[in-house]
């Protein structure tokens, strides 16, 4: 596998998907096993994944914050009236 051919194909596939979706679709159906073609298909897949994320509602786009459990303050004297 030649990394340079794959990388160039990936970048081309991504750009083609942005600017010519019909051509991108045709390339995705192409048969063959070259590094360049595999890169183009993967570049298209990456672009499609990013587009799906963009179409999500805003509440799904935000990074999930870790859940923090708020525990009540522990105190021996809380809620207890002192003896007189």
What pLDDT, in 10s, does the model give residues 5-36? 999 999 999 999 999 999 999 999 999 999 99
| pLDDT of amino acid 55 | 79
Q: What is the mean pLDDT of the chain?
A: 83
Nearest to 9 by CA among 22, 27, 21: 27
The domain locations on the chain are: 3-57
| pLDDT of amino acid 57 | 75
pLDDT > 70: percent of the chain: 67
- Angle (deg, nearest 10), helices 35-54 and 3-19: 40
**CA distance linking residue 47 with residue 55, whole number of Å:** 13
Higher pLDDT, 65 or 32: 32
């Amino acid at each position: 596998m030649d990394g340079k051919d794959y990388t160039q194909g990936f970048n081309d596939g991504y750009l083609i998907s942005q600017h010519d979706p019909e051509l991108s679709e045709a390339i995705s159906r192409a048969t063959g096993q070259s590094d360049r073609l595999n890169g183009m298909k993967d570049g298209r897949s990456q672009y499609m994944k990013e587009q799906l994320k963009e179409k999500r509602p805003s509440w799904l786009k935000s990074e999930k914050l870790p859940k923090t459990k708020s525990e009540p303050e522990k105190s021996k004297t809380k809620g207890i009236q002192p003896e007189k």
